[in-house]
Structure 1
Amino acid sequence: MNAARIAIVLSLSSSPALAEKITLKPLIDARLRYENVEQAGFAQGADAVTMRVRAGIEARTGDFSLLSEAVGTLAIVENYNSGVNGRTAFPIVPDPQTIGLNRLQLQYRGLPGTVVTLGRQRINLDDQRFVGSVGWRQNEQTFDAARVEWTGIKNLKADVTYAWSDRTIWGINGGNRHGPARYAAIGGDNVFANLALKTAIGTLTGFAYLIDQDEPLVLRNSSATYGGRFAGARPLGDGVKLNYVASYAHQTDHARNPNRYAANYYLGELALNVAALRFGGGYEVLGADNGVPLTSFQAPLGTLHKFNGWADKFLVTPPNGLRDAYALAGYGWKKLGRFEAIALTASYHRFDSDRSGQHYGNEIDLQASARSGRATVLAKYADYRADKFATDTRKFWLSLEWAI
């Protein structure tokens, strides 16, 4: 990556655009969080108090911008297994103590309807189901990549990325000595391609995600996924709106994956907004092939905490696949006293296998959040009750975040 850093700096410094005015924008994002985990099978629960700070600067001149951002996470109370600290007597809280370069990217906007981004960058596609930054964790996932976004035709957007490295959440101490696939970075040849068309009733997106990972312990994550997604909203009356999402994808093994498999993905969701009240539900299926591990539908580069329950029991899809039937409800206030954007949400999940007729378990998730100026406070709870998969797990979070 050193050569890439030098190339970025030289590209900017040699550009005629330097004759133009340079504007600087500071970047600061800090989060203090407490996480507690009580999990069956462990004699003691996990208590984690961590502080994450991302700080950097973005310089703009003409059609160019250069962004540099560092990240550091401090484990203030480390009574937990971070995944790389060796404290396996505790349940896992994957927020290791780390410091490093989070982003270093050069962006060019000089071509009509086109944005080109080169370097270490954050990539969130659609709802982050298949490619995302894993922003819930203290150390987010970024990519060393070249990305082109094109909007040269009205209501149409093409978005293509080639990523040669996935910078994981495990930080500077990541490595295979700490367990399965906990690398600091995973090299490979990954291609993410999206083509989205906006219509009067929603956005129709076709996608292709080709994941080719080089490290020995993650070869089985290499896959080719092709599919489509439709998402939109429709007003039904004064203060009433119907939201809908439908998605389908087909996945097969790819590149050097030693497994041979094919699996399908389905999602359907409906939600109704009535003034400040929101309620609805959905059904998501990550299909299975033959019941062998890692031959079910996987999404190793997605923001997985957003899906299938906040207890994170299904970050890797079980060999027999997963069916998630869920209901959700929420209520919000635009302003209440000193606070803005106050929101209460709740959801219930029933988890079953895609093959073999297993009931995995059920989960209840609750969250309350509010913003005051640049600060956001959040309280969150997840309760997974196991039947035929994993173990009973309860998690609680309390956090304070400040950003500019």
Structure 2
Amino acid sequence: MKLNKISKVLLPLVAASVLAPTVAYAANNESKATIDFRLRYESVEQDNALKDADALTLRTRLNFTTANYQNFSAFVEFEDSRAVGVEDYNDTNGNNTEYSVIADPETTELDQAYVKYAANGVIAKVGRQVITFDNHRFVGHVGWRQDKQTFDAASFNYKANDKLDMTYAYVTKRNRIFGEEKDLDAKDHLINIGYKTALGKLSAYSYMLEVDEGADNSLDTYGVRFAGSEKHGKNKWVYAFEYATQESESGSVEYDADYMLAELGYVVNGITIKGGYELLGSDDGEYGFSTPLATLHAFNGWTDQFLTTPKEGLTDMYVSVSGKAYGGKWSVVYHDFNADEDSDTVDDLGDELGISYGRAFNKTFSGGIKFAAYGEGDSGAGKVDTDKLWVWVGAKF
């Protein structure tokens, strides 16, 4: 056991030393190799019986892109996540369950490996790959966690012209953020069509999901999104509007729910002020709208209280202010959460305040700090006061 643990800790360093000559070689030809490190401290304090969690983790990512040959190329990427000295946290895989959750389990895996064809407006990929659409609300890579989400899939994108592009992907496996033991076999069909107008981009999508577990199930979502900006003198308006409907089936149980988003902002002197309303609807208080492939950390608060939508549904009214300072970017975000279908015990779902700052020091090094505080609402919602802090540094070669 000790030898195995030592080997896993040394793997990123050994792999880096092996790949370093490849980086130098790639610089002189059409191939490309990169090494990417992110060292992050995360703490979680919750007002419950769980112990406060602390984690210092190092993510190492190594990748290589081959030269193009007759419109074909290949890409391979390995990813490793290790706890470095501080590992007092529940990693979601049954370790240290007396602590609060920090969803960064130790893992080493093949993160991506695909063959790509690109010519005449067509990009086709077969193999393990990142797939994202629009703002990651429905399909994303969850890059915030140390082990990002990828998919075993065949994907096809056709860009007809500067305005119209269409993507279809068939997914056979969801490689999630919790390590290989929690990946899911799937039969997912993902369709996204985008059209650029003078005022913004219009997207129409259909995401038909099925977990391949031997039992009848489906999660079908159909929607439209419009997002863009409009100049106003030296300043500009920014906006986004979206609507989707969802049908969920599990055995003989069926539910329907709706999704809506309305967001409006104004950019003045480099400061963006934005307000929005997001609804993840409920089916009579029995089912909440679900987005299992999303980059969930980017929505409904950074303390991740609503990774799963409550059966009562969720409304999120939020306001944010962001800008640039000292070579980096800062933001302040406030959320007010409520149930879509309230009950005698669940209506107020709490609120959250988040503050962040991050910057690149040069082309190689970057860093940042982020803090979020969630205040509980009605006791029947099952949430508690939660504070989370992150501090990180990164390097890419």
TM-score under structure 1 normalisation? 0.86
Q: Could you say what secondary structure the match of 1:297 adopts?
A: coil
Correspondence 1:227 to 2:247: no
Q: Could you say what secondary structure the match of 2:31 adopts?
A: strand
Please show how residues 167-178 of structure 1 align to structure 2 within 5 Å: 167-172=175-180, 174=181
Equivalence for 2:62? 55
Q: Work out the number of aligned pairs and report it.
A: 361
Correspondence 1:133 to 2:133: no
Question: Partners of 2:205 and 2:392 in 1: how far apart?
Answer: 35
Q: CA deviation at 1:219?
A: 7.1
Q: Closer, same or farther in 2 for the Cα pair 1:58/1:247, shift >3 Å?
A: same
Equivalence for 2:244? 249
Question: Partners of 2:39 and 2:320 in 1: how far apart?
Answer: 27
C-alpha deviations, 1:129-158, integer Å up to 9, x for none? 000011000000100000001012340000
Question: Partners of 1:139 and 1:85 in 2: how far apart?
Answer: 17
1:308 maps to amino acid: N
CA contact (8 A) 1:85 1:96 kept: no
CA contact (8 A) 1:42 1:91 kept: no
Question: Partners of 1:267 and 1:359 in 2: how far apart?
Answer: 20
Q: CA deviation at 1:291?
A: 2.1
Q: Closer, same or farther in 2 for the Cα pair 1:28/1:258, shift >3 Å?
A: farther
Q: Could you say what secondary structure the match of 1:109 adopts?
A: strand
C-alpha deviations, 1:191-244, integer Å up to 9, x for none? 11011110000000000000101237x976x31000000000011011x11100
Q: CA deviation at 1:290?
A: 2.6
Equivalence for 1:259? 253
Q: Could you say what secondary structure the match of 1:153 adopts?
A: coil
Q: CA deviation at 1:61?
A: 2.1
CA contact (8 A) 2:273 2:320 kept: yes
Equivalence for 1:180? none
CA RMSD of aligned residues (A): 1.6
Please show how residues 193-342 of structure 1 align to structure 2 within 5 Å: 193-215=191-213, 222-238=218-234, 240-254=235-249, 256-292=250-286, 295-333=287-325, 336=326, 340=327, 342=328
Question: Partners of 1:43 and 1:55 in 2: how far apart?
Answer: 36
1:251 maps to amino acid: Q
CA contact (8 A) 1:123 1:143 kept: yes
2:330 maps to amino acid: L
Q: Could you say what secondary structure the match of 1:380 adopts?
A: strand
CA contact (8 A) 2:50 2:100 kept: no
Equivalence for 2:391? 398
1:90 counterpart (92, 99, 102)? 99
1:78 maps to amino acid: E
Correspondence 1:367 to 2:356: yes
Q: In terms of mean alpha carbon deviation, does 161-170 or 41-50 score higher?
A: 41-50
Q: Closer, same or farther in 2 for the Cα pair 1:384/1:257, shift >3 Å?
A: farther
Q: Could you say what secondary structure the match of 1:279 adopts?
A: strand
Q: Could you say what secondary structure the match of 1:130 adopts?
A: coil
Q: Which runs of 5+ in 1 are unaligned?
A: 1-20, 175-182
Equivalence for 1:16? none
CA contact (8 A) 1:320 1:354 kept: yes
Equivalence for 1:349? 335
2:198 maps to amino acid: A
Correspondence 1:160 to 2:168: yes
Q: CA deviation at 1:23?
A: 2.4
Equivalence for 2:19? none
Q: Closer, same or farther in 2 for the Cα pair 1:133/1:43, shift >3 Å?
A: closer
Q: Percent identity?
A: 35
C-alpha deviations, 1:164-215, integer Å up to 9, x for none? 100011114x3xxxxxxxx1x2111101101111000000000000010123
Q: Could you say what secondary structure the match of 2:308 adopts?
A: coil
Question: Partners of 1:314 and 1:298 in 2: how far apart?
Answer: 10
1:49 maps to amino acid: L
CA contact (8 A) 2:317 2:335 kept: yes
Q: CA deviation at 1:330?
A: 1.2
Equivalence for 1:376? 366
Question: Partners of 1:264 and 1:331 in 2: how far apart?
Answer: 33
Equivalence for 2:187? 189
C-alpha deviations, 1:4-34, integer Å up to 9, x for none? xxxxxxxxxxxxxxxxx97220022210000
Equivalence for 1:69? 77
